[in-house]
Amino acid sequence: MPQQPLQASLKHSQKEKIMKITRNGSAAWTGGSVTGKGTLSTQSKVLSNQAYGFGSRFEEQAGTNPEELIAAAHAGCFTMFLSFILEAEKKVAEKLDTTAALTLERSPEGSFDITAVHLKLVAKVPGIDQETFDKLVATAKAGCAVSKLLNAKITLESSLIS
């Protein structure tokens, strides 16, 4: 298997541009921790002053929260990295569906920690056997940039459908 599937998938002219990327996100907050409110925004403007607060983070109220954004980022990163790995092996997925379930727990000291992420993948990849698929999926889980960033137990459940 190629050691650098991302580079193998990029044209030479693109490789030079993607050596270092900086992405920006921002948060603004007013008020106290429980009664206050905030907004989250991203450089791309996909999130632009998206409301969040105690209720959306800890009580299932409407709005977003940092943990679901991390879960979505992890699912997206893993899935795209797997597509690069598959392509380097001359395989193209018809479909990769990944969900990430992130666990946030209160520590004995009172802080909140992300303790686990469970990735669940359902994939349709023509012409690949289960053993090869399992090996490539494990490589994607370990090598995805978000997996490497998180200091949490990351588990994976995958199924290859025909």
Query: Any idea where the domains of the chain sit in the sequence?
Result: 5-16+66-160
| CA distance linking residue 23 with residue 31, whole number of Å | 27
Q: Is domain 5-16+66-160 given the CATH code 3.30.300.20 in the classification?
A: yes
Query: What's this model's pTM, rounded to 2 decimal places?
Result: 0.86
Q: pLDDT value at position 93?
A: 98
The pLDDT value given to residue 19: 77
3-class DSSP assignment, residue 103: strand
Question: What pLDDT, on a 0 to 100 scale, did the predictor assign at position 3?
Answer: 46
Question: What pLDDT, on a 0 to 100 scale, did the predictor assign at position 20?
Answer: 86
If the chain, 162 residues long, is cut into consecutive pieces of 10 residues, what is the mean pLDDT of each piece? 54 62 95 97 96 94 95 98 97 98 95 96 98 98 96 94 89
Beta strands in the chain, from DSSP E residues, in sequence order: 25-30, 37-42, 50-52, 95-106, 112-124, 153-160
Q: What are 97's two structure tokens?
A: 């569906």
The Cα 42–Cα 49 span in angstroms is 9
